Amino acid sequence: MAQLTFRNGTEKDTQLILRFITELATHEGIEKDVVATEDSLQHALFKEKSAEVIIAEYQEKPIGFALFFHNYSTLLGKKGLYLEDLYIIPEMRGKGFGTQFFAHLSKLALARDCGRFEWWCLNENKSGMDFYEKIGAEQMSEWTVHRLPKTEMEKLSKHIKDVK
């Protein structure tokens, strides 16, 4: 099996990261939802350090990325690794690179003493679901994801005067 190399994303990768985000959104049919810019990514990833990026390379060419951050489990009393996005360019799929990427992230999570490694998957992504089951992931069907969009946060926040 061909081997990937992995490296941490840097500010120089901002354009590449945005390209991968846009390609992933297009693949999922949600490209209209991409509002990230190079400036916003550079600020969030490299100034605020809100998340981290790993770039996967094959024969010294970038072929994918993973964007992740740490969350926290009160039950475990430990941080976890939360994978926000993982993307491999279409022509590099089916070569075992997804397994290598998840193995790399698992090793990273273990090295950082994370209690778990988790992510979301679109329900209609049957190939993704099959892959995750194959690598031993447990589907958390007893949990329902909730999201409060910015407009609703703004409405709700009007009930409180100030937050410090």
- Catalytic residue numbers? 132
121 CB-near residues (< 8 Å, 6+ apart): 128, 129, 132
Residue 137 to residues 42, 102, 120, Cα–Cα distance (Å): 32, 11, 11
Q: In angstroms, rounded to a whole number, what is the distance separating the alpha carbons of residues 81 and 70?
A: 5
CA angle in degrees (0–180, nearest 5) for 89-120-77: 125
Q: Residues 98, 90: contact at Cβ < 8 Å? A: no
